[in-house]
Structure 1
Amino acid sequence: MSTLVKTRYLTFSLVLLALAQLIYALDLNIVFVALPEIGRELGFTGQTLQWVVSAYTIFCGGFMLFGGRAADLIGQKKMFIFALLVYGLSSLLGGLSWNTTVIIIARSIQGIGGALLFPATLSLINRLFEEGPSRNRALAVWGGAGASGLTIGSLLGGVLTNSYGWEAVFYVNVPLAGIVALAALFVLPADQIRDHKRSFDIPGAITVTLGATLLVYVLVQGPESGWTSLSVIICAIGSIILLTRFALIEQRTSDPLMPISLLHNRHLVTGLTTTFIYMGTFGALPYFLTVLFQNVQHFNALQTGFAFFIPSIAIAIGTQLGAQFTTRFTARNTLLTGFMIGVIGTALLPLGSYPDSNYWFIVPGLVISGIGQGITWTCMWIIASIGVKDKEQGVASGIASTSLNIGNAIGMAVLIAIANAGVHGKTGSLLLTSIASGSRTAFYLASVGMLVGTIVALTLPRQKKQINQ
């Protein structure tokens, strides 16, 4: 294959992988905007409506490691296409939902589709693009597509809900997923020949999937039902038992689902820690910004979508800077830079977080924090892929993705609990003031968490600068 043909081949592959990431990111925000209408039409109560979001989060977080292993053993291309089909069909079911049970089932299946899609996409990038500047640029494009998906999700969610109803936010995924899956059949390279000596490690897969699913359930449902509620306690105990059993299985099996040798990779361990911190800090900001814009400053769905446009552009710019900085200044220095910029920007967000604040007061913080977020996003995935063998890219991506989801669940649980501590029993202007105060507290705590991220970055080994290719 000539260099020109190979370059075009990789370019088309990257476009498809970026589109898949855009679809994945699109769905993170698009449903948020439609939640009030979903609740009214399907008969959700205020306490049960959050399950439209939680069902996706729980199953996506629980099946990530399974998805990574499946990509390694069944094939990254096969799992990529299968995941898109699951995503598209579950979205169709979501749009056709006629009651609360059906839409929660649809969102659960959609979460499983996301858990299969994310590690398959990430591992394909890490296999197709060799370690160094080439992979850095590919991850920047992939990350930029994700940032764009967040913007488009907010905007499209408002437009579709206002114009066609909540069902449209599900239907939009169907043709997108179908087109990308069909194109992948012809564009993506064939999977590597499977080593038949490797097994799926069924006992390990079952215990870690169930254990992780219960853990995410506890972290998501704990703040809603109370940490001492019977369901939360039972699931917490079940999670501990299953994950402990998983650890014992992995020590004894000859072909473990999660090879312990991966944890000897210093870069991967730092990447796992970074993804955890990232989603517990940067990843929690959209929730509090949405609460601030809609509940306190009374933005409608479409206005909220436009409010996220500026930070999403900043994040997209940051993802490109992350690749360039990693190539020129090493991953260690880039990760430090990303987190430090994030600390400064997030600490500025409270300036525009009052009931009577003008939107433009919060914009400087959104821009600076967004750039730091984008830099950190690209860099942490570069770090997590360094030194990982091709045949283990799927499970490594699954581990990192699981860390991402658990970090988000823990970060959200802690920040929401602290932010909402002063709102109980208040109404009217006092309630708005308390919600705004809680959001400011969450922003300050998130910036402290990002500061912890800079300390983690210092644990990375010093490397020579990469040479441009």
Structure 2
Amino acid sequence: MATSETRSPRRAGYILALLAFTQFIVTIDYNIVYVALPDIGRELGFSAQSLQWVVSAYAVALGGLLLFGGRAVDRIGPRRMLVTGLVIYALSSLAGGLAQNAVLLVAARAAQGVGGALLTPATLMLVFTTFAAGPERNRATSVWGAMGSAGLAAGSLLGGVLTSAFGWSWVFFVNVPLALGTAFAATRVLPADRPLGNGRSFDALGAVVATIGSTLLVFGLVSGPDKGWGSIEGAGALAVGAVLLAVFVLIENSSSDPLVPLKLFRLRGLIVAMLALIVFQASSGGTYYLLTTYLQNVLNYGPLTAGLAFLPPTVACMLVAMKLNARVLGWLGVRTTLFWGSVGTAVGLAAIIAGMSAHGSYWAVLPGVVIWGAGGGFAFPSLFVAIASSGAEPAQQGVASALASTCRQIGGALGLAALVAVANSRAGSAPDTTALVGGLQTAGWVAAVGTLGGAFIGLALKKQPKPTPAPATTATTATEEVATDLTEAASHAG
């Protein structure tokens, strides 16, 4: 819960800025390698099939360990886990930049995923427990979500700039000072965790089974397009992962102190938000792949130009999430804001697809790119506001946020696998430019329909009463100040 110490304007502002920047570090690293992949593949000897693991290793480790990370946050403390995750992130990023072969780089990316699995639930739990429910938490979650959305878009931009100017290694080296500096700041800004040794078990068996099951599930989803859905790596991993997760449910049902309390699954708001998050991430998250492929393989953009192409959606997303989303949440509520934000994201994606052609230009897809980014600025933070207001107890916010983040990773892996399969089946094994564009457009329409479906899933959320207007609290004022500062910083950086 928020304390008098954390509710002073300056202290609350520092906490929110730190948490938002931590989320930016986690999400930026998912996309920062995309435009560097051609250079990485050439220099380290990746095959065309194995190159995807530079991205997938991160997703597999992150998705597999999120439940463990969420319970570690609940048991050990969010500040301890946030600092630990940042240190792991820094060391693994250094190892990635120094890697001299494919195996070492993939291992470093997996280690980055381990760090992310600790950071994501830690930052979410601190947002949920520091800021009071209602307008105050809505604003804080909007800023946090904005930095997450912006990190995905800015990753492509920053990756292009660094790869062109200094080489691919710097997409990893850049994380080292950022993560270590943030870890040091966390020890000065965040309130101390409660003392350890409360006598409660950690549910070690449940943690092991959940981690292996989740990891195999994500592994199967990202391996299917490459190895074949009928292969051991595809269907085999999915089947074993599903069985282990079923066993995990049985373990939790009989445990006196479960890793994931099963009563969380009786919270309608949490279940609906997780389903909506899976669909939203599966459909709209694949847009980065579609757009990056179009820019580099059809328009023949280099890494720097392709990265700069993601600046407009980055700015649109940040401005909407930081300046408008919290106000719209207050006017319309979470359910309606999520619905129209998802619809806007689908409309933007449709406009991107309509603007694609074999002899097209970036200007033809730019309106759709901006609409897509603005829609995400409403939808993505609203999903996590829904999770924060789902009714989970404060002591279970870490594992609740980890469940949601696991759904996000599974949705992203499932969506990317499906869209790649659709695009390749439509384009053929050796596509010309026209066939490639046709494949991307077909996959894009599938993603747009999926995003629209996610909007209607969100309507199953309970309609919340509009909050009674009240004088701004110190934490609310601090949140607005931080949002302004972060937006101005992003504009200067752009």
Q: TM-score, normalised by structure 2?
A: 0.91
Q: Find the aligned partners of 2:173 and 2:84 in 1 and give their Cα distance.
A: 18
Distance (Å, rounded) in 1 between the aligned partners of 2:335 and 2:248? 32
CA contact (8 A) 2:316 2:370 kept: yes
Residue 104 of structure 1: aligned partner: 106
For residue 461 of structure 1, what is the aligned residue in structure 2?
462
Aligned to 2:490: none
The corresponding residue for 2:22 is: 20
Q: Is the 8 A contact 1:56 1:111 kept in 2?
A: yes
Cα distance change on mapping 1:82 and 1:372 into 2, 3 Å: same
Residue identity matched to 2:406: T
Q: For 2:13 and 2:297, how far apart are their aligned partners in 1?
A: 43
How far apart are the structure 2 equivalents of 1:450 and 1:128? 31
4+ runs of 1 displaced by more than 3 Å? 1-5, 192-195
Match status 1:410 vs 2:411:
no
Cα distance in 2 for partners of 1:419, 1:372 equals: 24
* Partner SS state of residue 466, structure 2: coil
Partner Cα separation in structure 2 for residue 21 and residue 348 of structure 1: 29
Question: Match for residue 440 of structure 2?
Answer: 439
Match of 2:342 in 1: 339
Residues 1:282 and 2:287 aligned together:
no
| CA distance in structure 1 between the aligned counterparts of 2:329 and 2:157, rounded to whole angstroms | 31
Give the 5 Å matches for 1:235-314: 235-314=237-316
- Retained in 2: the 8 A contact 1:21–1:121? yes
In 1: Cα distance, 2:28 partner to 2:423 partner? 27
Distance in 1 between residues matched to 2:11 and 2:195, nearest whole Å: 20
Q: Which residue of 1 aligns with 2:492?
A: none
Contact 2:149 2:380 in 1 (8 A): no
SS at match of 1:422: helix
Query: What is the distance in 2 between the residues matched to 1:343 and 1:13?
Result: 33
Q: Deviations over 1:386-406 (max 9, x none)?
A: 122111010000000000000
Alignment partner, residue 400 of structure 1:
404
TM-aligned CA deviation for residue 59 of structure 1: 0.7
Q: Which residue identity does 1:420 align to in structure 2? A: N
The within-5 A match list for 1:51-450 is 51-192=53-194, 196-320=198-322, 321-386=324-389, 387-427=391-431, 431-450=432-451
Unpaired runs of at least 5, structure 1: none
Kept after mapping to 1: 8 A contact 2:90/2:175:
yes
Q: Deviations over 1:348-396 (max 9, x none)?
A: 1122111211211111211122111110111100001112211101000
Deviation at 1:49, TM superposition (A): 1.4
Q: Per-residue displacement from partner, 1:59-112 (whole Å, max 9, x unpaired)?
A: 111111111111000100000000000000000111111111111111111111
State how far apart, in whole Å, the 1-side matches of 2:246 and 2:69 are.
Answer: 20
Shift of 1:197: 4.5
Q: Map Cα deviations across residues 404-458 of structure 1 (whole Å, 9 max, x no partner).
A: 000111111222211111222435xxx2111111111122111211221222122
CA distance in structure 2 between the aligned counterparts of 1:286 and 1:29, rounded to whole angstroms: 8
Distance 1:200 1:92 in 2: 31
Whether the 8 Å CA contact 2:145–2:384 is kept in 1: the answer is no
TM, length-normalised to structure 1: 0.96
For residues 467 and 24 of structure 1, what CA distance do their matches in structure 2 show?
35
CA pair 235-2 structure 1, distance change in 2 beyond 3 A: closer
Q: Structure 1: which amino acid aligns with 2:457?
A: V
Contact 1:323 1:378 in 2 (8 A): no
What is the percentage of aligned positions where both structures have the same residue?
44
Unaligned runs of 5+ in 2: 473-494
Structure 1's 5 and 135: CA in aligned 2 closer, same or farther, altered over 3 A? closer
Alignment coverage as a number of residue pairs: 466
2-structure distance, mates of 1:151, 1:248: 40
Whether 1:36 and 2:69 are equivalent positions in the alignment is: no
User: Is this contact kept in 2: 1:147–1:313, CA < 8 A?
Assistant: no
Alpha-carbon offset, residue 242 of structure 1 = 1.2
Quote the Cα distance in structure 2 between the aligned partners of 1:423 and 1:19.
39
- CA positional deviation for 1:151: 4.1
Quick check: 309-318 or 146-155, which moved more? 146-155
Counterpart secondary structure, 1:462: coil
- Per the alignment, in what secondary structure is the counterpart of residue 286 of structure 2? helix
- The AA in structure 1 aligned to 2:363 is W
Counterpart residue number, 1:451: 452
Q: Is the 8 Å Cα contact of residues 30 and 154 (structure 1) preserved in structure 2?
A: yes
Q: 361-370 or 246-255: which moved more?
A: 361-370
CA-to-partner distance for each residue in 1:237-259, whole Å, 9 max, x for gaps?
A: 32122112101101110111111
CA distance in 2, matches of 1:455, 1:366: 22
- Code of the residue aligned with 1:399 in structure 2: it is L
Deviation at 1:52, TM superposition (A): 1.1
Tell me the SS of whatever aligns to 1:254.
coil
Query: 1:116: how far off?
Result: 1.1
> Quick one: structure 1 residues 128 and 440, their matched pair in 2 at CA, closer, same or farther if it must change by over 3 Å?
same
Query: Is the contact between residue 329 and residue 337 of structure 2 (CA under 8 Å) also seen in structure 1?
Result: yes
Letter of the structure 2 residue corresponding to residue 294 of structure 1: Q
Asked if structure 2 preserves the Cα contact closer than 8 Å seen for 1:133 and 1:467, the reply is: no
Q: Name the aligned partner's letter for residue 213 of structure 1.
A: T
Q: CA deviation at 1:34?
A: 1.3
Would the aligned equivalents of 1:327 and 1:467 in 2 still touch at CA under 8 Å? no
Deviation of the 1:135 alpha carbon? 0.9
Task: Give the stretch that moved more between structures: 99-108 or 146-155.
Answer: 146-155
Offset of 1:280 from its aligned partner?
0.6
Structure-2 change in CA distance of 1:170 and 1:4 (3 Å): closer
User: Residue type matched to 1:312 in 2?
Assistant: T
